[in-house]
């Protein structure tokens, strides 16, 4: 918690004799008043760090995507799966759906394709001579 720093704590023999080792007789450099030994060597910023971590967690949860189909929040694994990982990474097929809705969509799509009639695809006839024949008069 100190990031490689050591707390420097001092006291005097006179204070130690008068108040004993459990009294508020220790002074930590950088602090304006005497404290007990545990308070002096403790980290007052620990509570601030805990609050900051809680705030970061709350902000992360506020930015967590919602599934378009059902409105449930994505799991950490699903959120990671939809984030772009690089140029060569495979693209996610349904980035707007949660895991359950994605599974339903994957199973419904092949069934829907089999039920549709295929459109007639008439291929235009090729003229003899290829594409260069267009330039001949």
Per-residue pLDDT reduced to its tens digit, 88-97: 666 677 777 7
Q: Is the dihedral of CA 93, 99, 100, 103 positive or negative?
A: positive
Helix (H), strand (E), coil (C) string for 64-111: CCECCCCCCECCHHHHHHHCCCCCCCCCCCCCCCCHHHHHHHHHHHHH
Q: What is the pLDDT of residues 4-60, one digit of tens each?
A: 778 899 999 999 999 999 999 999 998 899 999 988 888 766 767 888 888 998 888
Q: What is the pLDDT of residues 55-112, one digit of tens each?
A: 998 888 888 888 777 878 878 887 777 777 666 666 677 777 777 787 777 787 665 5
Mean pLDDT of the chain: 77
pTM of the model: 0.37
Rounded to whole angstroms, how far apart are CA atoms 58 and 64? 10
Residues in CB range of 46: below 8 A, 6 or more apart:
1
Under the banding of pLDDT at 50, 70 and 90, the label for residue 121 is low
Tokens for 115, please give them. 């039920």
């Amino acid at each position: 918690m100190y990031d490689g720093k050591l707390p420097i704590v001092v006291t005097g023999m006179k204070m130690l004799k008068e108040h004993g080792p459990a009294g508020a007789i220790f002074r930590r450099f950088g602090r304006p008043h005497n404290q007990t030994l545990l308070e002096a060597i403790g980290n007052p910023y620990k509570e601030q760090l805990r609050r900051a971590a809680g705030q970061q967690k709350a902000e992360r949860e506020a930015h967590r995507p919602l599934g378009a189909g059902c409105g449930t929040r994505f799991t950490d694994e699903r959120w990671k799966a939809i984030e772009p990982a690089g140029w060569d990474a495979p693209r996610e097929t349904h980035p707007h759906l949660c895991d359950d809705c994605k599974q339903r969509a994957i199973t419904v799509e092949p069934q829907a394709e089999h039920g549709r009639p295929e459109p007639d695809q008439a291929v235009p006839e090729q003229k003899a001579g290829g594409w260069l024949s267009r330039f001949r008069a």
